[in-house]
Amino acid sequence: MSSNTPVITGSCRCRSVQYYTTTPPRSKACNFCHCQTCRRLSGAPFLPFADFDTASVLFFSAASSKALPNSPKSPFKTGIASTPSTSAASEPAPLQEAVEKVPALKEYRASPHASRFFCGDCGSQLAMWYDAEPGMLGLTLGTMDEESMEKIEGGLKGKGHIWVKEKAGWFDLPDDGSTRLETMGNSDRLLEGK
């Protein structure tokens, strides 16, 4: 597979920020984060993430018509009401460069340990990056295009519910066989930056 061939594609709701990955996720198993920050930012009982190699995720602005190389169809869907940013097109860029090159892509530090990335136009939560794991980027599952997720043999499946100790009291965890962790398996290392 060419390093320019999109594996997973996705975007925010208004499509002002779009992305593609050049590799599949690190694992087909996804985490459902129940921490208070994820709940408040998403307005939902949890926020699901799939982990990718940071360098394999490229972000671009909606105005770019040539953003997806080797794509058999346009990255823009028809019949979806949207109001993408009127800013100039941007070439696909890795996360560190994309925050400067993609006008609608915004960074938010909800804690001293991690950055979250969202669309400044529509507010969609797109990704999370831990300082202690610069090679890994968690993309939110709700922003991924279903058609591209179908390329992953066996699909993406829930692996675990993390930060269950901060779970919303009004939400009952499903009996889905997924692991349940009070915090996050590697949270001490991530929070200490080791």
Percentage of the chain surpassing pLDDT 70?
76
Look at residue 138 in the predicted model and tell me its pLDDT: 92
Give the start-to-end residue ranges of the domains of the chain.
9-192
pLDDT at residue 169 is higher than 80: yes
pLDDT at residue 91 is higher than 70: no
Ordered DSSP codes for the chain: --TTS-SSEEE-SSSSEEEEESS--S-SEEEEE--HHHHHHHTSS-EEEEEEEGGGEEEEETT-TT-STT-SS-SSPSS-------SPP---EEHHHHHHHSTTEEEEEEETTEEEEEETTT--EEEEEETT-TTEEEEEGGGB-HHHHTTSTT--EEEEEE-GGG--TT-PPP-SS-EE-SS-TTHHHHHHT-
pTM over 0.85: no
pLDDT at residue 30 is higher than 50: yes
Question: Which CATH number is 9-192 given?
Answer: 2.170.150.70
Confidence of residue 28 (pLDDT cuts 50, 70, 90): confident
